[in-house]
Amino acid sequence: YRPAESEFDRIFTVSLFFPDLLPPGVCNLLNPAAIYANNEISLGDVEIYGFDYDYTLAQYSNLLHSMIFNTARDILIEQYKYPEGLGKYDYIPGFAIRGLHYDVKKSLLMKIDAFHYVQLGTAYRGLRPVPDEEVIELYGGTQHIPLYQMSDFYGKGPSLKQFMDIFSLPEMTLLSSVIDYFLAHGIEFDQIHLYKDISDAIKDVHVKGMMYQWIEKDMEKYILHGDETYAVLNRLVNHNKKLFLITNSPFSFVDKGMKHMVGKNWRDLFDMVIVQADKPNFFTDRRKPFRKLDDKGSLQWDKISQLEKGKIYKEGNLFDFLRLTGWRGSKVLYFGDHLYSDLADLMLRHGWRTGAIVPELETEIRIINTEQYMHSLTWQQALTGLLERMQMHQDAESKQVLLEWMQERQEIRSLTKNLFNPQFGSIFRTFHNPTYFSRRLVRFSDIYMASISCLLNYDVNFTFYPRRTPLQHEAPLWMDQLCTGCMKTPFLEEMVHIR
């Protein structure tokens, strides 16, 4: 049973002796424009569509990340008096991925799986990986992070912070760059103060409106696929769906962006527009009343007893929103990119249906569709099956073969991880388990997709059926689904006419 030299020889050999360890065929390629269901949902039952703005209706260019990084870095140097040598650091596209955890007291940025285990090889202090042995020692001889240390409902634990939104990519890179500089120059620092300073500098970029100004000055450069946003909204309205917008961004910024993407009469498409909503507090805090804005964005003083179509409202809370609109339960479908701030409360506390926007999905699916990924995963699963089946052979030669298989399996797992991101791998998986991000994605969203334009591929009455995924005791019945670790997802070619 010693592995043969070439990949195809190895797969052929296994297919001869252990045909049940290999899948009978190759899965259909996944479609990056598909919508994936965690829970059964019929769009025909949805009467009201709600949207977040940033990274939901408005998709942004990655060029924005460099601007955020550079500006926050300069704030640290000029206002917080951090070393000027930090000015030599630039944003590193592709260094970090969404969903990572940061242990503030240990200065560790790492990926954690759904079972609270650190994926070895994905723990970084600064810009350098931390050896697996050191990670295990730091956590008391284990890879496991106890529940009490983990993030709370909104991704904020006592010592662990989870970076869940797309805007956090430059923050993670800046955090790693500053630590890298301090370690390289032997500068002692307080981990808590450093984390807070960087977090505050990043926050300044948003709160002081700098990011809004950059986008407003060059919307062609920073806003992507605006025509698709218009197509989605217009199509829903033409099918008599009600639309509303709840965003934390200010009105002037949203107004300019929507005029750029949809046109000057964009507000005619929406039954309700709520800005500076202060999510997630909007969904849980009953105290803030709605305030009306005039057409220029100036605050009005009258008490709000109804929410009028075409008007702009600021702040408020979901409880008043539900009382004034009567929009409750599964007839409402809300889309957002932040699993905690946008979706969690709506699904768990209020029974709305939810759609997660995950732009990374498009790139990850394209990687999954490559021949290299399919071959690597096929052989990885074959090796895993061989190890499980042959482990009872304990003679010297068999032990040596098993050791070689284990080493090869680990090498393939690392290579597969690197296809997605050399530092942290896929945002959806550790080597074999779902990531902590994936766990929250499944828990807080009925459906998920790369962008809202994916809705254009489906009829407005389409029903999404989640694939029945195997429990471990059902796995032998599901061998046709092992080749890429994914459920067979139909192509959408036959639905193109719906656009």
Please say if the pLDDT value at position 420 is more than 60.
yes
| Residues 145, 148, 150, 154, Cα dihedral to 10° | 170
320 an active-site residue? no
Question: In the chain, what is the straight-line distance between the N-terminal and C-terminal CA atoms, in Å?
Answer: 53
Q: Which of 66-70, 196-200, 383-387, 475-479 has the lowest average pLDDT?
A: 475-479
β partners of residue 59: 224
Residues near 385 by beta carbon (within 8 Å), at least 6 away in sequence: 18, 20, 21
pLDDT, residue 30, reads: 87
Burial class from Cβ neighbours inside 10 Å (0-12, 13-18, 19+) for residue 496 reads exposed
In the prediction, which pLDDT does 82 show? 97
Contacts of 182 (CB under 8 A, 6+ apart): 126, 188, 189, 194
Angle of helix 371-390 versus helix 360-368 axis, rounded to 10: 70
Contact, 102 vs 161, CB < 8 A?
Answer: yes
Mean pLDDT of the chain: 89
Cβ count within 10 A of residue 318: 23
Residue type present at position 268: D
The pLDDT assigned to 9 comes to 60
Given pLDDT bands bounded at 50, 70 and 90, which one contains residue 498?
A: very low
Confidence of residue 298 (pLDDT cuts 50, 70, 90): confident
Dihedral sign (CA 330, 332, 338, 342): negative
Helices 63-78, 191-207: axis angle to 10 degrees equals 120
Closest to 476 in 3D by CA, of 140, 64, 23, 42: 23
Structure tokens at 340: 């905690």
Mean pLDDT, residues 220-231: 94
* Mean pLDDT (whole number) for 422-433: 94
pLDDT at residue 36 greater than cutoff 90: yes
- 5 pLDDT higher than 80: no
State how far the Cα of 173 lies from the Cα of 123, in Å rounded to an integer.
Answer: 14
- Is it the case that residue 26 has pLDDT exceeding 80? no
pLDDT value of position 25: 45
Closest by Cα among 431, 434, 391 to 409: 431
d(CA 446, CA 291): 31
pLDDT tier at 168 (50, 70, 90 boundaries)? Answer: very high
- Residue of 168, 167, 311, 320 lying closest to 245 (CA atoms): 311
Angle of CA points 214, 92, 119, to nearest 5°: 125
CA atoms within 13 A on the CB side of 271: 17
Given a cut of 70, is residue 108 above it in pLDDT?
Answer: yes
Catalytic residue among 52, 165, 255, 342: 52
**Per-residue model confidence (pLDDT) at position 467:** 86
Share of residues in the chain with pLDDT > 90 (%): 74
Q: If you compute the radius of gyration of the chain from its CA atoms, what whole number of angstroms results? A: 25
Does the annotation list 294 as a binding residue?
no
How much is the average pLDDT of 76-82? Answer: 97
Question: For residues 370 and 360, what is the distance between their CA atoms, to the nearest angstrom?
Answer: 16
pLDDT in tens, 239-282: 999 999 999 999 999 999 999 999 999 999 999 999 999 999 99
Please give the pLDDT value at position 155.
Answer: 62
Residues near 76 by Cβ (< 8 Å), separated by ≥ 6?
A: 82, 86, 174, 178, 197, 198, 201
Please write the tens of the pLDDT for every residue from 198-217.
999 999 999 899 999 999 99
pTM higher than 0.85? yes
Q: Is the peptide bond before 93 cis (omega within 30 degrees of 0)?
A: no
Please give the C-alpha separations between residue 284 and each of 72, 250, 321, 350, in angstroms, as whole numbers: 31, 20, 12, 10
Looking at the predicted structure, is the pLDDT value of residue 91 above 90? yes
Active-site annotation holds for 52: yes
| pLDDT at residue 482 tops 90 | no
Q: What is the average per-residue pLDDT within 413-421?
A: 95
Q: Residues 140-152: what's their mean pLDDT?
A: 80
Mean pLDDT of 58-84: 97
Q: Is 45 annotated as a binding residue?
A: no
115, pLDDT greater than 70: yes
Asked whether the beta carbons of 462 and 427 are under 8 A apart, the reply is no
Structure tokens at 256: 């300019």
pLDDT at 50: 98
Residue 323 has a pLDDT of 95
- Calculate mean pLDDT across residues 440-447: 96
pLDDT band at 499 (very low <50, low <70, confident <90, very high): very low
Please check whether residue 125 is in contact with residue 104, taking contact to mean a CB–CB distance below 8 angstroms: no
- 337 labelled as ligand-binding? yes
Nearest to 161 by CA among 201, 125, 80, 107: 107
The answer, yes or no, to whether residue 181 has pLDDT greater than 60, is yes
Which of 153-162, 347-356, 378-387 is least confident?
153-162
Residue 212 three-state SS: helix
- Residue 299 has a pLDDT of 87
Catalytic residue among 54, 342, 345, 446: 54
β-pairing, 101-103 vs 160-162, is: antiparallel
